[in-house]
């Protein structure tokens, strides 16, 4: 791929990705994360392992239920489904938080070269995403309300995160690097 071509996304079944990489039918892959990438053996045929996954800021599960059907459920069943959804989401995050670090180390030990996306790629990706979301918001009042609510929430969250979470994380990372 040269700079003028861009990319052409392909949807390929998980079991077909490895052979497609091996044959050169595709140049790169985005799947889930280190644990799943390791199970599929991508590091054996893809030399570089890029981060961060800006397009997938965090893993989550979804349960979608028709409003009328939901309203018809007894309140106790609604509560059970809400709790089950929360438990499944927490379990999934905890699972990947516990298995991804060791898997990433094994990928690197297996020959994958860890590389950060350059700032220019991050900026272009962010801009393309925002442009797309803004186009969708222009076409759909519901999407616009949802996006506006999300953006306001993220602004508040990032204000807090940069003070509390990031400062603490950077402090701990500095301590770990020093031994």
User: Who's near 65: CB < 8 A, 6+ residues apart?
Assistant: 81
- The pLDDT assigned to 5 comes to 57
Q: Which residue ranges in the chain fall short of pLDDT 70?
A: 1-6
Give the SS3 label for residue 9.
coil
User: Measured between alpha carbons, how far is 41 from 107 in angstroms, rounded to an integer?
Assistant: 9
Per residue in 108-137, pLDDT (tens digit) is 999 999 999 999 999 998 999 999 999 999
- The pLDDT assigned to 102 comes to 97
Residue whose C-alpha is closest to residue 40's, from 25, 19, 60? 19
CB atoms within 10 A of CB 112: 20
Tell me the two tokens of residue 150.
């999300």
Give just the sign of the alpha carbon dihedral 12, 18, 19, 21: positive
The region that residue 74 occupies, defined by phi over 0 for left and psi between -120 and 50 for alpha, beta otherwise, is beta
Per residue in 84-96, pLDDT (tens digit) is 999 999 999 999 9
Domain locations along the chain: 14-117
E-assigned strands of 11-90?
48-51
């Amino acid at each position: 791929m040269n700079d003028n071509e861009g990319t052409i996304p392909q949807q390929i079944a998980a079991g077909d990705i490895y052979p497609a990489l091996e044959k050169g039918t595709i140049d790169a892959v985005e799947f889930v994360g280190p644990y799943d990438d390791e199970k599929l053996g991508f590091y054996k045929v893809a030399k570089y392992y890029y981060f961060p996954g800006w397009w997938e800021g965090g893993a989550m599960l979804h349960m979608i239920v028709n409003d009328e059907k939901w309203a018809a459920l007894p309140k106790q069943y609604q509560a059970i489904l809400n709790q089950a959804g929360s438990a499944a989401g927490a379990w999934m995050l905890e699972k990947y938080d516990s298995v991804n670090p060791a898997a990433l180390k094994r990928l690197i030990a297996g020959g994958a070269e860890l590389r950060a996306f350059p700032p220019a790629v991050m900026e272009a990706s962010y801009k393309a995403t925002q442009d797309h979301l803004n186009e969708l918001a222009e076409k759909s009042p519901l999407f616009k309300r949802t996006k506006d609510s999300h953006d306001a929430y993220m602004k508040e969250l990032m204000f807090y995160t940069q003070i509390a979470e990031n400062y603490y994380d950077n402090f701990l990372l500095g301590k770990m690097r020093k031994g």
